[in-house]
Structure 1
């Protein structure tokens, strides 16, 4: 089996941002049906965007939190709060991103995002 350097770089960033445990779990759960999507998201998101030089990972995490909040993608939010911490955002900065998003995305979406982030931050502090 040959290795693709672009996919290897994408996977390295995915693992650095989300952690080996999350990535290993996602890969282990992949089925024949979902495997092409896992491959796509690794190539497109992690290889096509997160490996670019234009923004640092802290900034990319802040943007990701804002967009997930604005779109109401709460299934992805906890994972990206943990990623934001891993990428160097502080608890206060995460709160500011969510607060800043509220008037632009809607109070209910920001309220849900705060609840999810609060739970993740409490869990992280307990670890």
Structure 2
């Protein structure tokens, strides 16, 4: 939970936890333990690198809601707006221009929100 909060922020994690139901509880426990406790805390890659990889995978798979969340996380993990742009440009080549077009639109909205705060 420490890594999940550090990357996604307390507000997001608190909303996810508050929205947990008896039906989704096991899934929330799984992602907290496995993704955040097992993968995001491994020493082999830093959080910046993990954010770049995660954004690329989300672009490739069209997971737009998760992409918005991970653009915020990328900023938290130290990526600049220009570095996020470069990740999306790279994704355009390997994931497809339509996928990157949507990703740029999502990232622009998120970064505008973050930069206005």
Moved over 3 A (4+): none
- For the residue of structure 1 that corresponds to 2:23, the secondary structure is coil
Among 63, 66, 70, the alignment partner of 2:60 is 70
**Which entry has the higher C-alpha Rg, 1 or 2?**
1
Distance in 2 of aligned mates of 1:104 and 1:66: 9
Residue 75 of structure 1 and its aligned partner are, at CA, apart by: 1.4
Q: What residue is the counterpart of 2:47 in the other structure?
A: 57
Residue 103 of structure 1 and its aligned partner are, at CA, apart by: 1.3
Residue 82 of structure 1 and its aligned partner are, at CA, apart by: 0.3
Gaps of 5+ in 1: 1-10
- For the residue of structure 1 that corresponds to 2:39, the secondary structure is coil
- State the TM-score, normalizing by the size of structure 1: 0.91
Q: What residue is the counterpart of 2:38 in the other structure?
A: 48
Aligned length: 117
1:30 aligns with 2:20: yes
Q: What residue is the counterpart of 2:81 in the other structure?
A: 91
- For the residue of structure 2 that corresponds to 1:48, the secondary structure is helix
Distance in 1 of aligned mates of 2:35 and 2:107: 22
Please report the RMSD computed on the Cα atoms of aligned residues, expressed in angstroms.
Answer: 0.5
Among 101, 107, 115, the alignment partner of 2:97 is 107
Distance in 2 of aligned mates of 1:71 and 1:53: 26
